[in-house]
Copies of this chain bind each other. A is one copy, B any other.
Amino acid sequence: MALIIMERVDGMNKNCDDFYNKIKENGYKLTSQRKIVLNAMLEHEDEHLTVEEIYGYIKETNPEVGLATVYRNIQLLNEMKIVDKLSLADGFTRYELSNDEDSHTHHHLICEDCGKVIEVKEDLMDSIEQSFLSSYGFLVKDHQAKFFGLCDDCRNK
C-alpha cells in the first residue's frame, strides 16, 4: 500500500524531484510537511488557492499538519519562486504554482459579472517593458497584471 502511494507520487510529475532539489539547494530541510504542501500545489496546478483552501486539501489526507506550517511553507515556496502570490478581485491572498520559473508571471482576465478568471499564459508585455527602460531607465524583471471586464459569455448576455 505504501509502495503504491510512492509510485503514484513519483510518477505524478517529473518536476517533483526538481522542486525537492530546489528546496535543498536553498539550504532548507526537506521535511515531510514541505513535500505535502508542495504536492498539494502540484495536484491543483491551475487553481488560485487561498491558504485555507490549501490547508483544506491537505487535511483530507494529512490532518496532522498544522495551519501555521502551511503558512510558513507557502511563504517559503513563494520566496523560492516555486509558487506565485496573487490577489484577484475578492480581496483574498491566493497562490498558484509558477508556470515556469524563468518566465514572467502570466496575466489574469477577471470577469466583473460572473467572476470567472481566465489565464493568459503568453507574455505580450515585451514592448511595453522596453519602453519603460528607455523612458524611465527602469529594467523590468517581472510583472503582475489583472484585466477587469466582461468575458465572452457575459458580453453576449
Contacts and interface: CB of A to CB of B under 8 A. Distances in A.
Q: This chain: how many copies in the complex? A: 2
Contact of A137 (B112, B141, B142, B151): B151
A150 B142 CA distance: 10
Q: Chain A interface secondary structure, helix, strand, loop or mixed?
A: strand
A143 B151 contact: no
A132 B143 CA distance: 18
A120 B144 CA distance: 15
Contacts of A118: 136, 138
Contacts of A137: 151-152, 155
Interface stretch (A61-69, A95-103, A123-131): A123-131
A19 interface: no
B132 A112 contact: no
